[in-house]
Structure 1
Amino acid sequence: WEEERSPRGVRWTQLEHRGPCFAPPYEPLPDGVRFYYDGKPMKLSLAAEEVATFYGKMLEHEYTTKEVFRHNFFRDWRKEMTAAERKVIKRLSKCDFTEIHRHFADRAAARRALPREEKQRLKEEAEKLQQEFGYCILDGHREKIGNFKTEPPGLFRGRGDHPKMGMLKRRVLPEDVTINCGRDSKVPEPPAGHQWKEVRSDRTVTWLAAWTENVQNATKYVMLNPSSKLKGERDWEKYEVARRLKGVVDEIRSRYRADWKSREMKARQRAVALYFIDKLALRAGNEKEEGESADTVGCCSLRVEHVQLHPEADGCPYVVEFDFLGKDSIRYYNKVPVEKPVYRNLQLFLENKDPGEELFDRLTTASLNKHLQDLMDGLTAKVFRTYNASITLQGQLRALTRAEDSIAAKLLSYNRANRAVAVLCNHQRAPPKTFEKSMQALRSKIEAKKQQVAEAKAELEKARAGHASREDGRSEAFLEKRRRRLEKLEEQLVRLGTQATDKEEGKQVALGTSKLNYLDPRISIAWCRRFGVPVEKIYNKTQREKFAWALDMAGEDFEF
């Protein structure tokens, strides 16, 4: 959720919208749904009850088994209680949220079981809300808004082992929201009885509303839909900067290699950091917001404790072992052989330092990006990540794709290429809870299909024997029918096998982040057109809207 600025030189003149759509007020629990403490029913105040429902809804989720989540929730929940409630409720282990959980589970089941007419009515209400809040007027054109609803209150989950998981995400109020609209446009009306925090007209940015959430103190934005003209131009500009890097990257690499021997320690540290950003697609890392407790780092903020040097490991000389928490508290662990000058410099940087001291103590993200800006206009550490991701995808697609392969095999090659990028960028995920169950179902389908293939082969042999004895037109047609049936079943078996391989290989890799944010979509679209793969197999409808500009521009001969 970065603050998105308009493409260079682009300034909108008119921007009019309704503002964000706020989460509905809390609905108290029915009288028959009770909270219990130490085995006894207890009526909670409205504020405490609302927070209790957040936990109750998640009662069977893995998060509620984690000590950090439970600790943070209980601490924040007690802040919402009355003094009398705090006197009674002192231990989470004595709290019973069972009825609350059952109430919301029953409600969800009832929603799923609604008759078609009622579901249609709800769909129409959602569409009415979309029409009211989901569009803006930008320079005379009606543009779709991406996320027009504020996030409802709840419990923060985070990714990885986030130290703030379980904390209370407070309700966003109009008083928290800054509105951005045209100077001469009608300012949206806040909900009755409320007022906006601020109204401004900043024509250099592409967001419509902004507020700061309370858990990580991060700014959240209401943005234009990815399919909007401005967003498309910004996407195009991002990838064009990365493509320009391709023309000067060899010169930049030569320069940072030369700086490994610089007499100036700052230049040496910058050169080694840039090598890691280039070679390993590490994030540069930014200074944390005040009060942010998650111990996450990037390349520039690595500490001595995050690296270990091995003269030799796994049969390779000069190996660096990284182990740290990156963005979203996702662990980055990697053992990588490096060039001898890099290894020697790291030994120098580590000398006489305690584990908690910075590895690159003469370097900041700002100074690194300033240096990169001097090397190429628009170049930042993040551009290296985009460039290396896109180049990796293009190279992998060339190496893995065969024109004679089936569509299913080509898609497996595409996903393998995408996985290489995800591994490079450390886009991990925990295996889905339903992974083993769905894999078992897929294996069962494969076994059933194998049985069908075996039966079809037996039927074909039988038909051949019958045809040899008769050799008439009728038996020839029957034989051809059996051949086609066997071919179809064998194709289905191959497709299922490919799906199983793809699923197994991708169970711990998140493909979406790189595909939507780091890979030039023109590479994927050109590949689809070159090898006869429907673009719909790579990008869903929403993603095709986001990359409409690329669909117009990418011919099958496109090169990143």
Structure 2
Amino acid sequence: DSKQPKPPPGSKWKEVRHDNKVTWLASWTENIQGSIKYIMLNPSSRIKGEKDWQKYETARCLKKCVDRIRTQYRDDWKSKEMRIRQRAVALYFIDKLALRAGNEKEEGETADTVGCCSLRVEHIKLHPKINDQEFVVEFDFLGKDSIRYYNKMPVEKRVFKNLQLFLENKQPEDDLFDRLNTSILNKHLQELMDGLTAKVFRTYNASITLQQQLKELTCPDDSIPAKILSYNRANRAVAILCNHQRAPPKTFEKSMQNLQTKIDEKEKQLSTARKQLKAAKADHKASHDEKSRKTVEVKRKAVQRIEEQLMKLQVQATDREENKQIALGTSKLNYLDPRISVAWCKKHGVSIEKIYNKTQREKFAWAIDMAEKDYEF
């Protein structure tokens, strides 16, 4: 109830504001586009950590009621009301394709970007059958940050029939869901579960996908480099689901050439080391003395060391090639419960440093302290 102080004398700050519902520390209107800029808390701050934890706990709550929600939107596909059918199909897309709701356009962004609720007729094509798959929907539109979303996805027959109905008597520029907007959808999501949004669905599906992929892809007997490759492949599955793309780095071809040169050199070293081991074994077979036995042991260890180095380089090359157009960092920072990754590291003996860099470890310090190897999302 105390009186708010005035801005410091001699400064140009407009006011001192008390607002416990925001996390920015200072804001101002910049002088080019007139947009509002903010000074935010450091990602590693306690308040940010608590907010992150709450975000993933909300997504975990969805796990308890997602089957009920899916049953309901399937029933709604048969509703007598067109608005309910449209809402149900849109929710199906948000759930299965991790689409954004459609209101995430950045301030000042002028590109024709859309989300689920703002899809137009021109953004989809229906294929009753294509490449031996029935009821395929072809999506092609610009999503957030003007990143193209292109996908051909088989859908359930009733979804396909509803989409045919939604397209009737419409022009390409007409809305696909003409009786739906983000406000209507968000209100419905809140009724289904407290705190539920399209982003919560996205976070839930991303985290569940990572956890399932890690279980399927990780072999306990694999080497550390092979386990890290499995982790990145699981992360890649999430990035593809969330449409986190990037242009291949300009230095990609050059770096791959350099890596291949290292692989070629290592293969030559391995060939030489194997010949030396073979010769040492023959020498020991002839002499049977202690010196030749020790030489065989040294040569065997040298072969083993070079084999491990070669495998590490080959895994690195595979990893780079597979991820040249996929941005793994976005989902890792924003949509994947870090406790899944921490638990995986602890379970499989992989150093946290191999998965998270210094900044990420600071951001997810709460998860590193909290998660044990048996953590389940």
Q: If the length of structure 2 is used for normalisation, what is the TM-score?
A: 0.96
SS at match of 2:135: strand
Counterpart mapping for 1:155-554 below 5 A: 187=7, 195-212=12-29, 219-286=36-103, 292-554=109-371
Whole-Å Cα distance in 2 between the matches of residues 363 and 479 of structure 1? 75
Whole-Å Cα distance in 2 between the matches of residues 354 and 338 of structure 1? 23
Residue 399 of structure 1 deviates from its aligned partner by: 0.2
Counterpart mapping for 1:54-93 below 5 A: none
Whole-Å Cα distance in 2 between the matches of residues 479 and 291 of structure 1? 69
Does the CA contact (< 8 Å) of 1:419 and 1:511 recur in 2? Answer: yes
**Bigger share in helix:** 2
Does the CA contact (< 8 Å) of 1:280 and 1:425 recur in 2? Answer: yes
The one-character-per-residue Cα deviations of 1:9-62 (angstroms, maximum 9, x if unpaired) are xxxx9xxxxxxxxxxxxxxxxxxxxxxxxxxxxxxxxxxxxxxxxxxxxxxxxx
Change (3 A) 1:216 1:308: farther
The one-character-per-residue Cα deviations of 1:123-154 (angstroms, maximum 9, x if unpaired) are xxxxxxxxxxxxxxxxxxxxxxxxxxxxxxxx
SS at match of 1:433: coil
Change (3 A) 1:445 1:186: farther
- Structure 2 gaps of 5+ residues are none
Report the residue type matching 2:228 in the other structure.
L
Report the residue type matching 1:407 in the other structure.
I
Whole-Å Cα distance in 1 between the matches of residues 187 and 331 of structure 2? 25
Change (3 A) 1:268 1:542: same
Higher relative contact order (CA 8 A, sep 6+): 2
Report the residue type matching 1:444 in the other structure.
T
Identical aligned residues as a percent:
69
Residue 203 of structure 1 deviates from its aligned partner by: 1.7
Q: If the length of structure 1 is used for normalisation, what is the TM-score?
A: 0.65
Residue 201 of structure 1 deviates from its aligned partner by: 1.4
Counterpart mapping for 1:27-106 below 5 A: none
- Structure 1 gaps of 5+ residues are 1-12, 14-181
Change (3 A) 1:473 1:187: farther
Whole-Å Cα distance in 1 between the matches of residues 222 and 108 of structure 2? 54
Residue 216 of structure 1 deviates from its aligned partner by: 7.3
Q: Based on CA coordinates, which of the two structures has the bigger radius of gyration?
A: 1
Change (3 A) 1:414 1:219: farther
Residue 222 of structure 1 deviates from its aligned partner by: 1.1
Does the CA contact (< 8 Å) of 1:308 and 1:320 recur in 2? Answer: yes
Residue 196 of structure 1 deviates from its aligned partner by: 2.2
The one-character-per-residue Cα deviations of 1:438-467 (angstroms, maximum 9, x if unpaired) are 000000000000000000001101111111
The one-character-per-residue Cα deviations of 1:58-107 (angstroms, maximum 9, x if unpaired) are xxxxxxxxxxxxxxxxxxxxxxxxxxxxxxxxxxxxxxxxxxxxxxxxxx
Whole-Å Cα distance in 2 between the matches of residues 540 and 303 of structure 1? 41
Q: How many residues align?
A: 377
Change (3 A) 1:218 1:251: farther
Report the residue type matching 1:543 in the other structure.
Q
Report the residue type matching 1:558 in the other structure.
Y
SS at match of 2:170: coil
Does the CA contact (< 8 Å) of 1:456 and 1:486 recur in 2? Answer: yes
The one-character-per-residue Cα deviations of 1:189-245 (angstroms, maximum 9, x if unpaired) are 7xx6x6124431112211112245577775432111111111111000000000000
